[in-house]
Amino acid sequence: MQNTRQITSIVLGLLIFGAFVWFQTTKYDSAVNLRQRLELLAFDLRLSATLPKQVKQDKRVVIVDIDEKSLRYEGRWPWSRAKMAILLEQLFKSGAIVVGFDVMFTEPERNSAKTIINDLNKNVPGANLVRRVLKSRMSDFDNDAKFATSLKDKDVVLGYIFHRSKVKPIGLLPRSLAADNLPTILNSTVTEMQGYTASLPVLQKAAKHAGFFSLDADPDGIIRRVPLVIKYKDRIYPSLALETARVFQLVDKITVLTEQISGVTNITGIGLSEKKIIPTDGQGRVIIPFKGPYNSFPYVSATDVLHNKVPDGILNNAIVFIGTTAEGLFDLRAVPMQSVYPGVEVHANIVAGILDDKFPAEPVWASGANLVVLIVSGLLLVFVLAYFANPYLKIFFALTVISVITYFNIWMWNQQGIVLSVALPLLQAFVLSAVNLAYGFLTEAESKSQLQDMFGQYIPRELVDEMTDNPKHYGFEGVSREMSVLFADICGFTNISEALTASKLKDMLNRFFTPMTRVIFESRGTIDKYVGDMIMAFWGAPLVDENHAVNSVEAAFGMLEAVKSLKIEFEAEGIPPFEIGIGINTGVMNVGDMGSEYRRSYTVIGDSVNLASRLEGLTRYYDLPLVIGEKTYEQVKNHFICQELDLIVVKGTSRPIKVYNPVCRVGEETKPLMYELERNLEALRLYRVQNFKAANEIFEDLLQDNDKPLYHLYLERIDWFRKNPPGPQWDGVFERREK
């Protein structure tokens, strides 16, 4: 039973394990989406658990905020480009090193002088003079030109966005990255876009630098990763954060690192120098290195900058991002820590990560490592949980595995900066543990009732009670062991069935099987089956019986005694007289619950079982009620007096065996009987060495004192062999090819 439980638990565990491995590796869309959602949820929980509760603001990066206060004092967005020029001048005057714009300037600002000229009525007195004056001063009212002038000769990074779908290009794209390995990069898995929206050409030409600030959310709408480089029409472009950090660190050239993995070129990192490599995924994206929740960086209201109300020194030597937190300007995003988070602070976190050279990375080999963790933890749980019978040990081991997985994952995150999957290994551990525990409780509760229900059909109730006292030692699983098996059949049953009606035949069989079964139960035997008039039983399972052979022969004697009483009852009722033939064999056989999903039985199979059936058939050949095999004889010879019958090869076998007829129990024998058996052995010896004359004389003498069909049989054989000598190679074996 315990082995069956373990095997079933292992098989069940392997099925669950296989489902998780499939789930981890499949490309099926629904499974991939669900897997991503689980891992994203685990990512958020892990990030929230590892971020510090109190964050000291990183003053290297300052966010100039177009907030509600600024809109209230300066008017609605977009502001005049002249005002933006003043804002920019104020920032650099206050000590800013680099300014990055997380806003775009895609439409030209209307020239007020030109508007007046177009709207001025020609019939108004002095209209022509006004037109001439305004045309001569047209440039003084060109705010786009003023803003462009303020951009020149400053380290300003304009922002723009890329689109995944094809849209009409707006504005002017900046210069792309000049990479020596550009063809390789273009053929990699780098993120590719189909359209863009950029700033006015006059502004982009004036600015030295630009970077995209596109932020693509994960399927659940949360932003966790951003691309550092993007492919657009055979060119590679840097992000706003990457370009800002490059300008701040005076790096002339950005290197995009690639690697061939399984025949596919993957982006592995972005290099700002030989020592500063930013790890990316295969698409060139980085996991945002969040320092903490909103306000991890200093915020300054844009209106305070315009009016020179900024605290002293806050902008000195700082990287500045101009962005917005005003709700109506649509730059509030959902991030793992909170659902409302300024998009501009995402870029600030990336720049800080570049400066600190600290990024959580999911390297290209992470998928392989994730699979290894899943396989190792899964197989460990499958086999160890199946081995433990104690539920508390199961729980302890499962919690240990879960703790190790969690600790290893967080250690890799915090200490090594490596992001590995944790959702599936933990979910697998929980499922395997829960299923194993549930299965253990169910099987433990049902084991006794199963034993009673199952074995109550085959063995007496007192043996079932003995088994249920310790059900773990018994079960339905197949085992191989030495046992004894008995076949008993009614001789001449066809004549009986022809003489009786169906109802009387059924009644006769029930009355026959009842005492036969009682005798078998009393000798600790197990009923295998009833087939027609045949009964099959075995000894040695489910309870181990060291005396299985002796008990089986004892049962045969009891059955023969019971038949004598039945014959008297049946003859009085007009039922034709009958005898039974019993064959017993001992040997190694398989025993267990066998069958199909529709019907099963606790039975024995094997060559030793087949031989017992053949021995039962020999009872008619020798005209004896009981025939046993030589292995049975070896185990019962000290308990029963047996007569050796033959050295024979039966149908379905190739090895000759000696067969015997148990005559009586030891102690019940007589001197004439023992003399007869000794003479029989001598006759068989002479017969097998082909001394047919001497053997014939002994068999004739035996026949005079005991008119047994066996002796007639040997006299017939000897007569035939005298006429048809078997040859010198004959070893005395008789081949019986009939069943």
How high is the pLDDT of residue 551?
96
Q: Kindly report the CA angle at 336 between 65 and 324, in degrees rounded to 5?
A: 10
Weakest mean pLDDT among 166-175, 259-268, 453-462, 508-517: 453-462
The CA distance from 595 to 572, in Å, is 42
How high is the pLDDT of residue 639?
96
Count of beta carbons in the 10 Å neighbourhood of residue 640: 25
* DSSP letter string, 182-207: HHHHHTSS--B-SEEE---HHHHHHS
The CA distance from 535 to 612, in Å, is 12
The CA distance from 651 to 617, in Å, is 10
How high is the pLDDT of residue 448?
56
* Burial (Cβ within 10 Å: 0-12, 13-18, ≥19) of residue 453: exposed
Assigned token pair, 57: 């603001």
Residue 20, pLDDT > 80, answer: yes
The count of C-alpha atoms lying within 13 angstroms of the C-alpha of 687, restricted to the half-sphere facing its C-beta, is 27
For tokens 């030989």, the residue is 274
Residue 191, pLDDT > 70, answer: yes
Q: What is the mean pLDDT of residues 73-91?
A: 91
Q: Comparing 135 with 266, which gets the higher pLDDT?
A: 266
pLDDT tens readout for residues 139-189: 566 788 889 999 998 999 999 999 999 889 999 999 998 877 888 888 888
Q: What is the mean pLDDT of residues 653-660?
A: 90
How high is the pLDDT of residue 351?
94
Residue 121, pLDDT > 80, answer: no
Q: Comparing 83 with 470, which gets the higher pLDDT?
A: 83
Q: Is the peptide bond before 298 cis (omega within 30 degrees of 0)?
A: no
The CA distance from 334 to 123, in Å, is 58
Residue 340, pLDDT > 90, answer: no
The CA distance from 449 to 136, in Å, is 107
Helix (H, G, I), strand (E, B) or coil at 602: strand
How high is the pLDDT of residue 141?
66
How high is the pLDDT of residue 28?
85
Going by pLDDT thresholds of 50, 70 and 90, the confidence category of residue 470 is: low
Greatest mean pLDDT among 39-43, 526-530, 569-573, 715-719 lies in: 715-719
For tokens 């029963």, the residue is 640
What element of type H or E holds 238?
strand 236-238
Total residues found in the chain within this entry: 739
Count of beta carbons in the 10 Å neighbourhood of residue 592: 19
For tokens 């992000």, the residue is 239
Q: What is the mean pLDDT of residues 722-737?
A: 85
Pick from 606, 707, 687, 614: nearest CA to 644: 687
Assigned token pair, 421: 């999957």
Domain ranges of the chain: 2-48+368-451, 61-356, 478-669
Residue 444, pLDDT > 70, answer: no
The CA distance from 531 to 534, in Å, is 5
Pick from 233, 241, 248: nearest CA to 350: 241
Tell me the percentage of the chain whose pLDDT exceeds 90: 45
Residue 195, pLDDT > 90, answer: yes
Q: Rounded mean pLDDT of the chain?
A: 86
Domain 478-669 of CATH type 3.30.70.1230: yes
Weakest mean pLDDT among 2-16, 49-63, 114-128, 374-388: 114-128
pLDDT tens readout for residues 224-281: 899 999 999 989 999 999 999 999 999 888 889 888 877 888 888 898 887 888 988 8
Residue 55, pLDDT > 90, answer: no
How high is the pLDDT of residue 312?
86
Residue 678, pLDDT > 60, answer: yes
pLDDT tens readout for residues 529-583: 988 889 999 998 888 889 999 999 999 999 999 999 998 888 888 888 889 999 9
How high is the pLDDT of residue 338?
85
